[in-house]
Structure 1
Amino acid sequence: MPDRLSAIRTRAALRSSARTSAELLLLLLTAAAALWLLGRMWPVLWPLVVALFLTTLTWPLTRFLRAHRWPATLAASVVTVLSLVVAAGVVALIAVPVSSQSGQLVDGVVDGIKQLREWAAGPPLNIDDAQISKGLDAAVERLQDSAGTTVSAVVTGVGTVINGVVTAVLAVFLMFFFLKDGPRFLPWLARQLPGKYAVHVPAVAERGWDTLGAFIRSQALVGLIDAVLIGIGLWLLDIPLVLPLSVLTFVSAFVPVIGALFAGFVAVLIALVSNGLTDALIVLAIIVGVQQLEGNVFQPMIQSRGLGLHAAVILLAVTLGGNLAGIVGSLLAVPAAALIAVVWNYVREQLTERDERPPRDGEADGGATVATV
């Protein structure tokens, strides 16, 4: 007799599937509402996020000073001022050599343009000066026609710069207060929360802080590897401004995608105007190779160890963050994924049932622990 479907079991499976689907839909709606709320609060949250990143970089020095009996305010002030001095030094390390060799670079750009025109005038393009002048006139005319759009873009760019300056200033002030009052935050938070929340929320916050520090340290290590490898390649090719380009590569590592593209473009441009097309192509090959190693080997391996995430999870998180929120999404995708993992692991620990039965014969002292999810 052939097997028949049980009507009772089928209805029970359908009810269970419907209930699970409704719960998943509710979770998705909650996540969408949370993302919408974050978007509305982003002008306030973004300086806070930047301040937290800066604090994770500067907290080890602050902790060292406070451990040697420095007052909290004095330690935070010294570290904040020292951070600003270091940032100014990095800018000077890039700007001073560039300005001292600006004449050489300008001459190289002019020579490069001349070589480009000579190449365009020969076969197979055979473009003469009259055609080039005509093309330039057409470009100027098109630029004049789009003057309104250009002005609008400039105004938008100025607004972006102003917002960036305001964000930086707020982030520095917030970093100072985090360095000064950070150790008092978790005890204060525990006093404000009722019941078990006074234990669980500070515990998750402390783990999240450790995870954020691991992310910043791993990102700095990846940037250092990029800067060293690319700097060695530039030095072997005798490209000018090796040190500023290496520093720029390290700093740009903290800005995913755009940072690497910008640093690579600057290095290739300098190689082109100073050493010619062949060396520029070699520099481009070096940068592409190092970036491939970074994205597919160094970054997933280093961050997976520091954050406790699998390399594939990191790659997927960066891809998803970039699609959802562009550059900022790529920057925050990995720490966000790591913080979600921290919360998930903590919840699993709290929901795990521990068997506290007395030990049986042959078992180790202290009993066995059975974990069920």
Structure 2
Amino acid sequence: MGRVSSDSKNTNESSGQKKSGGPNSPDPRDVVDGRDFADILMGSGRMDPESSLPLPGEDPAPVKSPAEASRESIFLDGDPAMSHPDEEVGPLQSDENAEPGKELRDRAEVIGTSARWAAGWSLRFLVVAAAFWVLGRALSGVWTGILPVILAIIVCTVLWPVVRLLRKGHLPNALAVLLTIILFFAVIGGIIAAIAPSVSKQIPQLVDRGAEGIEQIQNWVAGPPLNLQSDQIDNMIDQATNWVQDQTDQITQTAITGVSAITSGAITLFVMLVLIFFFLKDGEKFLPMVRRVAGRRVGWHLTEVLTRCWNTLGGFIRTQAIVSFIDAFFIGLGLVIMGVPLAGPLAIITFFGGFIPIVGAFTAGALAVLVALVANGFTTALIVLGIVLAVQQLEGNVLQPVLQSKAMKMHAVIVLLSVTVGGGLFGIIGAFLAVPVAAMITEVFRYIGDLTDLATGEKHSADIAFATSAGQQTGAQREQAAQRWQDWKKSLTTDDSGEPKPFSRFLAPLLPDDKDGKGGKDDKPSDDSASTQS
């Protein structure tokens, strides 16, 4: 006999015939209807054709003779769970009374079923898109308050190992945090102080060489193959000058906005410093508070997810710092060897640009080539371009696969799309934060996938690397629930000795009357028993 589909099981599970407390009864929380709001709104059942198909390795149902079918029809009559021909397993038999051009099933019914399925999934997609739109609007409204929190968390992932090391040296918690913050900003200030003199000396020289480079470009476009006249060149320069003059009001407004942005940046920096101090000092108390507020079950999930996100974010920042340092070192060394001015500042720009994957490295490399072109000429620019490409190939083919794959496990397409969307929505800050945010979202989906694998029995809890003991307990519970479900399914087809049940005994729990002398009782929990156990 073919297997009963999941919809048939759901129909009989919801019929709620009798109470039972058998040892193989599944957890009532595991027995679900399988329909969501879209199915109910569209007036359709769950479309799950895979549940009625044989699994790989199963033998197809044997084709029964008319005599066998007539003997077993007494168990099928009146049972709505067994009355759907599309839920039968086995090869489709041709009807002797079928004629060419005669419909075996109404075409409108088939098309309507598919249309309801498509409409249901379209409705789900619209709801998800609307939720993301509302979330984006809400974030844009409170972005000023969220930005220092996000930046503080990112900085904390960098400083936390230092704080932990100082704590092991028996320093007080607050003192260890304060010393770490002072050391961090001392390093940043030292780097700026080291490059400031060279920048102030070399920028005027770079401007002069840039003017000479512009004259060389004018001479080049005046010759073959362009052969532009001097009047045409002067006309183009005049048009550019007039355009700049026409934009005076906009430039003034931009300057005013820049002053406002500097003030806002100072406030953001101050708030970020305060948050960094308290995050590093009292961050370990956050997860216990989450468990108390959210409850045990939800708190366990949040503890595991947040810990995974923290580990992923810290791994991304540290590995990206290593990759960016290697890029900056070799590109800066090449600029020094070629005598390109501003080699130190360009190396630092390359380092910070490396934290914006793909886009940052490309922008920093293009800037280095442009400076080499203006200052040292076309030949030096080509050599610098070769150095930049060689270093980026080393990063993309060796460093990124080895280091970043362990930290994020994200495809390059996801990284590129994240940077593009983040930069388009929130500018440079959005491009910088796009990959860490995408990595944390990916970690959430990865955790959901792990729980799904445990629920379906595809994995065991020992096969998953949980970050916390709460995650291990949750995984063990999910695995036990899957085992209870498997035992209950097995109890439908085999008896206590492991022998297959007769056909009549297998269908007895599905019948409304007493066929096997048990008074209609079976091992499946009804709705009443499910609510009682819950």
Bucket of the pairwise TM-score, normalised by the shorter protein: 0.7 to 0.9
Partner of 1:234: 335
Partner of 1:184: 285
Q: Residues 21-170 of structure 1 correspond to what in structure 2 (within 5 A)? A: 21-102=122-203, 104-105=205-206, 107-109=208-210, 111-113=212-214, 115-116=216-217, 119=220, 125=227, 139-170=240-271
- Cα gap change, 1:345 to 1:50, in 2 (>3 Å): same
Letter in 1 for 2:260: G
Partner of 2:351: 250
Structure 1: gaps of 5 or more residues: 356-367
Structure 2: gaps of 5 or more residues: 1-97, 458-478, 486-534
Task: Kindly provide the CA deviation profile for residues 139-168 of structure 1, in whole angstroms up to 9, marking residues without a partner as x.
Answer: 545433432122112222332333233222
- Cα gap change, 1:41 to 1:142, in 2 (>3 Å): closer
CA distance in 2, matches of 1:271, 1:24: 50
Q: Which has the higher helix share?
A: 1
Once the two structures are TM-superposed, the CA of residue 257 in structure 1 deviates from its matched residue by 6.7
Moved more, 225-234 or 320-329: 320-329
- Cα gap change, 1:247 to 1:138, in 2 (>3 Å): closer
Once the two structures are TM-superposed, the CA of residue 190 in structure 1 deviates from its matched residue by 1.7
Task: Kindly provide the CA deviation profile for residues 173-229 of structure 1, in whole angstroms up to 9, marking residues without a partner as x.
Answer: 211211111112112222222241222212211111111111112221221232133
CA distance in 2, matches of 1:262, 1:20: 41
Is 2:301 aligned against 1:200? yes
**Does the CA contact (< 8 Å) of 2:328 and 2:351 recur in 1?**
yes
Letter in 2 for 1:166: I
CA distance in 1, matches of 2:313, 2:405: 13
Task: Kindly provide the CA deviation profile for residues 300-320 of structure 1, in whole angstroms up to 9, marking residues without a partner as x.
Answer: 663232112234433343344
TM-score, length basis structure 1: 0.80
Partner of 2:85: none
CA distance in 2, matches of 1:43, 1:189: 24
TM-score, length basis structure 2: 0.58
Q: Select the residue among 386, 406, 414 that pairs with 1:305.
A: 406
Once the two structures are TM-superposed, the CA of residue 73 in structure 1 deviates from its matched residue by 0.7
Q: Secondary structure at the match of 1:340?
A: helix
Task: Kindly provide the CA deviation profile for residues 314-365 of structure 1, in whole angstroms up to 9, marking residues without a partner as x.
Answer: 334334444554434432332222222222232333443377xxxxxxxxxx
The total of aligned residue pairs comes to 359
Letter in 1 for 2:297: K
CA distance in 2, matches of 1:316, 1:139: 34
CA distance in 2, matches of 1:328, 1:103: 30
**Does the CA contact (< 8 Å) of 1:300 and 1:314 recur in 2?**
no
Once the two structures are TM-superposed, the CA of residue 251 in structure 1 deviates from its matched residue by 2.0
Moved more, 332-341 or 208-217: 332-341
Task: Kindly provide the CA deviation profile for residues 9-66 of structure 1, in whole angstroms up to 9, marking residues without a partner as x.
Answer: 6655544443333333322222222222112121111111111111111111011111
Q: Secondary structure at the match of 2:277?
A: helix
Letter in 2 for 1:42: W
Q: Secondary structure at the match of 1:196?
A: helix
Moved more, 141-150 or 29-38: 141-150
Partner of 1:212: 313
Letter in 1 for 2:144: P
Query: Which structure exhibits the higher relative contact order, with contacts defined as CA atoms closer than 8 Å and separated by 6 or more residues?
Result: 2
Q: Which has the larger Rg?
A: 2
Task: Kindly provide the CA deviation profile for residues 268-297 of structure 1, in whole angstroms up to 9, marking residues without a partner as x.
Answer: 354245423321233244335545665677
Letter in 2 for 1:161: I
- Cα gap change, 1:24 to 1:102, in 2 (>3 Å): closer
Letter in 2 for 1:180: K
Once the two structures are TM-superposed, the CA of residue 248 in structure 1 deviates from its matched residue by 2.5
Partner of 2:523: none
- Cα gap change, 1:66 to 1:159, in 2 (>3 Å): same
CA distance in 2, matches of 1:114, 1:165: 41
CA distance in 2, matches of 1:174, 1:304: 30
